[in-house]
Amino acid sequence: MTMSIIKFWDFVCDEDSLHLAESLTGARVFTLAEIGITVGRGTPDAAVVQHARDAGCIVLTGNKSDFVREMRLAAQRCTPAECFEGGGMITVPSGLERLAFAKMTRNLRLDGEKIDWEDVFLCNLHVDIHRSGVIVVKRLPVCEFFVKNHVVDCEVCQRLKIGIGA
């Protein structure tokens, strides 16, 4: 299944961020179990990334270092027959009790360009929430097949310069 066919539905909370689900007002939020992950200590991050993407969800996690690494590796594992690339993520600092989701949504920008959650999902972006409340949106690697088969025809990717010189 290619990224361009999968539709964005909403969010999935990693085990460490379930308490933030109620902060995502107006959005549907799924648990790992609801997207087909057997929850338990040591659930592979690769499985979370792929299941979330396949379910049309952006991952919300406090496990920034592991998930950034996994999102990078996932884009490298793609083949013409199967995509492992993620569908975007939100990382939060440990101990964060609540997200200002409406404000976050209004202030989403990539290189000064206004974006929305569907852009985050489709273009595999990383929304990094800092303890100070600052929101930094970064590009994550996209697989070469996504670039060849999607980016060249996608106005959003062209506007956000996804996969172009990345």
Q: What does the pLDDT read at residue 89?
A: 95
Does residue 68 sit in helix, strand or coil?
helix
- Chain-centre distance for alpha carbon 41: 22
166 occurs within a structural domain = no
> What DSSP character marks residue 7?
P
CA distance 150 to 135: 27
Instruction: Please report the pLDDT score of residue 166 as a whole number.
Output: 45
Residue 2 counted as domain residue? no
Considering only the C-alpha atoms of the chain, give the largest distance between any 2 of them, rounded to a whole number of Å. 42
3 within a domain of the structure (yes/no): no
CB-CB contact of 51 with 39 (8 Å): no
Give domain status of residue 62, yes or no: yes
In total, how many domains does the chain have? 1
Report yes or no: 147 and 139 within 8 Å, Cβ to Cβ.
Answer: no
10-residue mean pLDDT series, the chain (166 residues): 60 90 91 80 79 90 91 82 82 92 93 92 92 90 71 71 62
Q: From CA 61, how far away is CA 14, in angstroms rounded?
A: 5
Residue 45 belongs to domain spanning? 10-160
pLDDT at 2: 41
In a domain, 125, yes or no: yes
pTM: 0.85
Whether 48 is in a domain gets the answer: yes
Is position 4 within any domain?
A: no
